[in-house]
Structure 1
Amino acid sequence: MNKYMYWFIFLVLMSIFSFYLGLIFILTKFCIFFEYKFLYINSLVFYYVVILDWSSTLFISVVLFISSMVIMYSSFYMGYGSMSSNRFMYLVLLFILSMILMIISPNMISILLGWDGLGLVSYCLVVYYSSVNSNLSGMITCLTNRLGDIGILIGIGWMMSFGSWNFIFYNYCLDNNILLLLIFSSFTKSAQVPFSCWLPAAMAAPTPVSALVHSSTLVTAGLYLVMRFFSNLCVFNYFFILVGLFTMIFSSFCANFEFDLKKIIAFSTLSQLGLMMSSIFMGLMDYSFYHLLTHAMFKSLLFLCSGIYIYYYLDNQDIRFMGGCCSFLPLSTCCFNISNMALCGIPFMSGFYSKDMIIENYVFMGFNYLICFSFYLSLGMTCCYSIRLMYYSLLGSLNFVPINCEKDEFNYMGLSVMVMTIMSVVFGCMLNWLINLDMVWLFLPMDLKLMSLVFIFCGFWLGMEFNSFSYSVFFDYYFFNNNMWFMFGYSSFLINNFFNYCFSYYKVLFWGEFYLTSGLYYYLKSLSLLFQFYLNNTIKVFMISYLLVFLLLM
């Protein structure tokens, strides 16, 4: 047995213990609050605080379970004999520890420890392969996450006036501005629309890291922070609901025009994050947390299956070069299809229970027709890019390597994928029975009740039809959607066009060159010439300037 297996066994046992503890807390309505004073300066006291209640222990259980499967998967995927694989394992364990520290902290100072740990270790994991693409992606990821730290740091300074950073005691009397700062921080970590660029870029990390980061750890940290800081001031915030809705539609559109396997799954993560964020600001806290747990299961399975495809297709991630996977990799293909169906919300799969509850409650909120249609549209587009992914990887003919390169052997990767598949099928139903959510009866007419199912099948049908179309729209439309609607600040396509039409200065490639290097040089040169002209004049100029300053001071 190698080190990976020891850590796998330890994480599984801790996950089972944490799940059992969470069920006891639900049954007895009990929680543990632990406080340790480690610094005392006059009237300012620094505490390290830990809270264990049903939500934190269940979330820790899901994180540890997925982490254990990722560790077992990595022992075969990354190899376990070299020093680099040991470094990878310890980085993943540090990442898990940072997430757990953030989950169990109701204190601003102790949250910052886990929050910064997530940002730092995620940078180390994204740049693991040390290529140019990895380094650029790691820089985008790190800088965007550091941008989110600003809100927490200002909130720490602001909460000094309360006498304590234990926000759990001030949950309903916190200043609205502190909550806005925390929402800003959570939007950067959870990649909502102005800060979405780092999520697909972080796909440069190894696939087991992607399965861990984009299912239950890094991107869900912002959601969990908003749930913990929840106050009446946040309920029914229409602006944030619209931001979440726009994130869903934006990511679904981009996924329909992407050809990178891992980026398509990253866009689907972004779509689900928009759904959970908008449901939080509608007041559906428990349902959002429920969807967070179920989504973590099937999304990690989706990444692990894509890792098997990449492994056997000789590091190829382009779905146009795949095809015929169902003939050569039947086990992985079955698991891949199950996770895709759970993502789409097919009835009685894991994602159906949480997603259907959120959508049916959404109908009761009294939104206008356009917002309801946009919500259902994003639901249909989820199925559209899922069936597109199935079409390219399963139904087409083999386009890449010889057949003898592919074999579906039952190794550690296959075992972890099988366990995650079982959990993706039964976890939603099991959690629905066990945690006893405060559910209410929703009486809907038949057409509204079946609307979500109708949009799911319309999305499947449209996805199949789009795959048989040729390029029917002008090419710039596909380029626009494939580049995340030009959200990258330094998109050369947009900037070159901007300079062509506005400045007629097509040789300037970036904003920085135009406004900083060229522009700064011009102004410094002009200022230098002005001072030179001033100093070359006679003493009368100095006397006049002295008199003017003297009169101004008078």
Structure 2
Amino acid sequence: MINICLIYFYFMVVSSFITFILSLYFMLLDLVYFLEFGLVMINSSLIEMTFLFDWMSLLFMSFVLFISGMVIFYSRDYMLGDLNINRFILLVVMFVFSMMLLIISPNLISILLGWDGLGLVSYCLVIYYQNIKSYNAGMLTALSNRVGDVAILISIAWMLNYGGWNYIYFLGELKGDTYMDIISYLIVLAAMTKSAQIPFSSWLPAAMAAPTPVSSLVHSSTLVTAGVYLLIRFNFAFSDSLCYFLLFISSMTMFMSGLGASFEFDLKKIIALSTLSQLGLMMSILALGGYKLAFFHLLTHALFKALLFMCSGNIIHNVGNCQDIRFMGSLVNFMPLTCVYFNICNLSLCGLPFFSGFYSKDLILEVMSMGYLNFYIYMIFYISIGLTVCYSVRLSYYFILGNFNFVSFNMISESGYLMLKGMSGLIFTVVFMGSLLVWVLMPVPYIIILPFYMKVMALFFIFLGGWIGYEFSKFYLSYKNIFLSMYGFSWFFASMWNMPMISTFGINYYPIILGSYLYKNLDQGWSEYYGARQIYNVLVSSSKSFQFLMFNSIKMFFIMVLIWLMMITFF
């Protein structure tokens, strides 16, 4: 077991460094390598396997490989008691391989292989613990993602109009074409399901039933970022109306998930909702035309979100697999290094200067502020940033400043050295990679010219959100009775505006009622009497009469002859 983990770990880390150096080389010389392998020709449409190597695909691949290597190293300790750890590691490797296939494919058919691979392996990983909760979460995840898979299949069929599936040829030239607009809407639908935008958001917190290393991988750089990456590749073909639609949906997702995380008490679900919030931010700036900024935030977010899940996994491991943050408190006395890492990631998520999250988040906000947009977009961006800080500070308050509410007889300590080593491999990238990527990705810096008050608006909302989160935590701990009277109100926000109920009971309830009605009235009603049962009765009675004839053969024969003679005589 240890050997297979170490082999994959070394392979992925070495591959990550190689692809990172290659991406810098490609960026410096502005190179693009395009490899095509023809598979089969059908009516002048060539089905081919296509690989695209440019600075963007290589850079993203290096990040995915590095994070995956650290997660596999971390899993050696986290999944130590598991009897099927080899199967788990192979599933994770298949997951990463599917993501690689999706990253380097500029062809819709080869993208579908990676896209479906992600959906299938994610289902296997979500149901890994094999209980009813995991099964329900896995079905919700798989079926939500199937909507996007079908959208990709329909867009493959529509691209037959162009005689090929290499969309990278058609994006700029055919912008505004009716067929390309239809394909763009389908691609946006697929990306919305994979990146869990409204109304497909409920599967993302449900997927927390998976083991924590899987959550770390899924929510940082693989499954949920696949939709954003596809939109980054496809963004040149989007019409203005589609961009406005995407901007509205993603801004609502960003706001809804920030609000939901402020009322949630499950540690992994809070971090999952923060992922949803950041995905909304990436899609919003993508819809505003800043695809490079969306890619930049995609990379920085992958680093601190992977480490955030690793820290939470270490904490959950030590507090007897309890995920309720109300039972945690004063953990800095027992797990100082994990709490330091956790806080650094939280501050990076908030966009506090000068962590890696600050460089991408602040730039996105300032570019949005410089644009010509309405008041709704301007305010929902800043309120969502404030909510991000609010739930992050609330989480830190419960961990570090809150009372220790766990059992008195405990053994909380940082004994998992392999987990700490895996986390330590990521902490330097969380702190320094943001500034490095600014220098690398933007040789010509963005020129941002804003008035003083608009310039400090981001900092103002960060500190305002932090203060509200701190007061909110104290308020809940002090005035529980008030909150009990507001239970329905807080439940509505914590349950993501009742979206999980809508996407399970809302889809299941009425078809089941209709099915029972049809079963009662058709299967067991008049159609049964006049249909299958009546046919059965007619066949039985006719076969009985023939049976009567056959069993009385001689006597019946003479009677029939007699009747025949009488008929001849009379007629």
**Structure 2 length-normalised TM:** 0.87
Whether 1:221 and 2:229 are equivalent positions in the alignment is: no
Residue equivalent to 2:440:
434
How much has 1:410 moved relative to structure 2?
5.8
Of 233, 236, 239, the match for 1:231: 236
Residue equivalent to 1:541:
none
- Matches of 2:306 and 2:518 in 1, distance apart? 48
Of 315, 318, 321, the match for 1:312: 318
How much has 1:7 moved relative to structure 2?
1.0
Contact 2:370 2:449 in 1 (8 A): no
Q: 1:13 to 1:352 in 2, by over 3 A?
A: same
Residue equivalent to 2:252:
246
Structural mapping, 1:58-457, within 5 Å: 58-79=59-80, 83-172=83-172, 173=174, 175-235=180-240, 237-402=243-408, 404-409=410-415, 411-436=417-442, 438-457=444-463
How much has 1:493 moved relative to structure 2?
9.5
How much has 1:366 moved relative to structure 2?
1.8
Residue equivalent to 1:488:
500
Deviations 1:343-395 (CA, angstroms, capped at 9, x unpaired): 00001111000001110111122222232111111110001000111111211
Deviations 1:144-192 (CA, angstroms, capped at 9, x unpaired): 1111111110111111121111111111215111110011001000000
How much has 1:71 moved relative to structure 2?
0.5
Contact 1:342 1:352 in 2 (8 A): yes
How much has 1:527 moved relative to structure 2?
5.5
Contact 2:99 2:118 in 1 (8 A): yes
Structure 1 letter corresponding to 2:311:
C
Deviations 1:420-477 (CA, angstroms, capped at 9, x unpaired): 1111000101111122255331111111100000000000100111112223562210
Contact 2:254 2:278 in 1 (8 A): yes
Matched residue of 1:484: which SS?
coil
Matched residue of 1:51: which SS?
strand
Matched residue of 1:510: which SS?
helix
Structure 1 unmatched runs, 5+: 496-508, 536-554
Q: 1:272 to 1:511 in 2, by over 3 A?
A: same
Matched residue of 1:452: which SS?
helix
**Structure (1 or 2) with the larger CA radius of gyration:** 2
- Matches of 2:238 and 2:464 in 1, distance apart? 38
Residue equivalent to 1:510:
509
Matched residue of 2:75: which SS?
helix
How much has 1:130 moved relative to structure 2?
0.3
Matched residue of 1:49: which SS?
strand
Contact 2:202 2:503 in 1 (8 A): no
Matched residue of 1:439: which SS?
coil
- Matches of 1:424 and 1:95 in 2, distance apart? 23
Matched residue of 2:41: which SS?
strand
Residue equivalent to 1:44:
45
Q: Which moved more, 1:55-64 or 1:43-52?
A: 43-52
Q: Which moved more, 1:477-486 or 1:305-314?
A: 477-486
Q: Which moved more, 1:365-374 or 1:449-458?
A: 365-374
Q: 1:435 to 1:336 in 2, by over 3 A?
A: same
- Matches of 2:417 and 2:67 in 1, distance apart? 18
**Structure 1 length-normalised TM:** 0.90
Structure 1 letter corresponding to 2:309:
F
Of 471, 480, 488, the match for 1:476: 488
Contact 1:241 1:278 in 2 (8 A): yes
How much has 1:520 moved relative to structure 2?
5.2
Matched residue of 1:367: which SS?
coil
Deviations 1:22-79 (CA, angstroms, capped at 9, x unpaired): 0000000001100111223342321100010000000000000000000000011001
- Matches of 1:527 and 1:354 in 2, distance apart? 67
Contact 1:107 1:166 in 2 (8 A): yes
Deviations 1:283-336 (CA, angstroms, capped at 9, x unpaired): 001001000000000000100000000110111101111111100000000000
Q: 1:494 to 1:477 in 2, by over 3 A?
A: farther
Say how many residue pairs are matched.
519
How much has 1:195 moved relative to structure 2?
0.3
Matched residue of 2:84: which SS?
helix
- Matches of 1:131 and 1:78 in 2, distance apart? 17
Contact 1:486 1:494 in 2 (8 A): no
Contact 2:77 2:416 in 1 (8 A): no
Contact 2:108 2:165 in 1 (8 A): yes
- Matches of 1:450 and 1:523 in 2, distance apart? 68
- Matches of 1:200 and 1:394 in 2, distance apart? 24
How much has 1:402 moved relative to structure 2?
3.6
Matched residue of 2:357: which SS?
helix
Matched residue of 2:442: which SS?
coil
How much has 1:484 moved relative to structure 2?
1.8
Q: 1:161 to 1:490 in 2, by over 3 A?
A: closer
Structure 2 letter corresponding to 1:61:
S
Contact 2:127 2:138 in 1 (8 A): yes
- Matches of 1:317 and 1:301 in 2, distance apart? 17
- Matches of 1:292 and 1:488 in 2, distance apart? 26
Deviations 1:494-542 (CA, angstroms, capped at 9, x unpaired): 99xxxxxxxxxxxxx933343321365346667649969xx9xxxxxxx
- Matches of 2:24 and 2:79 in 1, distance apart? 35
- Matches of 2:103 and 2:512 in 1, distance apart? 43
- Matches of 2:519 and 2:502 in 1, distance apart? 19
Q: 1:177 to 1:527 in 2, by over 3 A?
A: farther
Matched residue of 1:440: which SS?
coil
Residue equivalent to 1:540:
none
Deviations 1:220-252 (CA, angstroms, capped at 9, x unpaired): 000111111122534572221011100011001
How much has 1:94 moved relative to structure 2?
0.3
Q: Which moved more, 1:249-258 or 1:431-440?
A: 431-440
- Matches of 1:529 and 1:36 in 2, distance apart? 57
- Matches of 2:514 and 2:391 in 1, distance apart? 40
Q: Percent identity over the alignment?
A: 47
Q: 1:119 to 1:438 in 2, by over 3 A?
A: farther
Matched residue of 1:50: which SS?
strand
